[in-house]
């Protein structure tokens, strides 16, 4: 049974996570896809092609992506190379304290180039990427023409 995991499942957006796929056939060619919808409903996604090792595992920290949104060894590549489906959109988190970005990770058999809704992933999981840690207080700043926010630790 194929399994994809993200460790830790919930983390701050600037912290690294480990992405692993297990249960593949040795040397199996797979596509790892990451995607999320921002607060306006815009979809951002990335994908990378990998060949499973002799144990039937893929670890982006150790294995080079063969192509897709990036190539080479990039442990966080699936999260760093997220691109909008609509041109000229930027991934911006407005409600930094209230909710995380929920990133969906999926594994597909072979090379998966498009987002064909009929194509079923072999496995999937979800990761939460928070922008503010627990207990952090956000204080709006308005002084003359200066606008900003002060984030105070617990």
What is the C-alpha separation between 79 and 147, in angstroms, rounded? 29
pTM score, whole prediction: 0.87
Check if the beta carbon of residue 149 is closer than 8 Å to that of residue 140.
Answer: yes
Q: Is the peptide bond before 8 cis (omega within 30 degrees of 0)?
A: yes
Neighbours of 129 (CB within 10 A): 19
Domain count, the chain: 1
What is the C-alpha separation between 114 and 111, in angstroms, rounded? 9
Q: What is the CATH number of the domain that holds 27?
A: 2.60.40.2240
Question: Measuring CA to CA, which residue among 1, 28, 34, 55 is closest to residue 110?
Answer: 28
Domain carrying residue 24: 3-152
What residue has token string 């597909």? 108
What is the C-alpha separation between 67 and 62, in angstroms, rounded? 15
Each residue's pLDDT, cut to its tens digit, for the chain (154 residues) gives: 999 999 999 999 999 999 999 999 999 999 999 999 999 999 999 999 999 999 999 999 999 999 999 999 999 999 999 999 999 999 999 888 889 999 999 999 999 887 666 789 999 999 999 999 999 999 999 999 999 999 999 9
């Amino acid at each position: 049974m194929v399994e994809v995991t993200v460790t830790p499942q919930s983390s701050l957006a600037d912290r690294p996570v480990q992405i692993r796929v297990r249960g593949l056939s040795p040397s199996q060619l797979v596509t790892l896809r990451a995607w999320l919808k921002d607060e306006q409903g815009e979809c951002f996604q990335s994908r990378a092609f990998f060949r499973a090792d002799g144990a039937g595992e893929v670890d982006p920290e150790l294995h080079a992506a063969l192509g897709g949104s990036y190539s080479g060894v990039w442990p966080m590549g699936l999260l760093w190379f997220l691109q909008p489906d609509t041109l000229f959109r930027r991934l911006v988190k407005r409600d930094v304290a209230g909710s995380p970005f929920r990133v969906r990770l999926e594994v597909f058999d072979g090379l998966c180039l498009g987002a064909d809704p009929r194509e079923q992933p072999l496995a999937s999981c979800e990761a939460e990427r928070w922008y503010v840690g627990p207990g952090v207080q956000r204080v709006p700043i308005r002084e003359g023409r200066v606008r900003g926010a002060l984030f105070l630790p617990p």
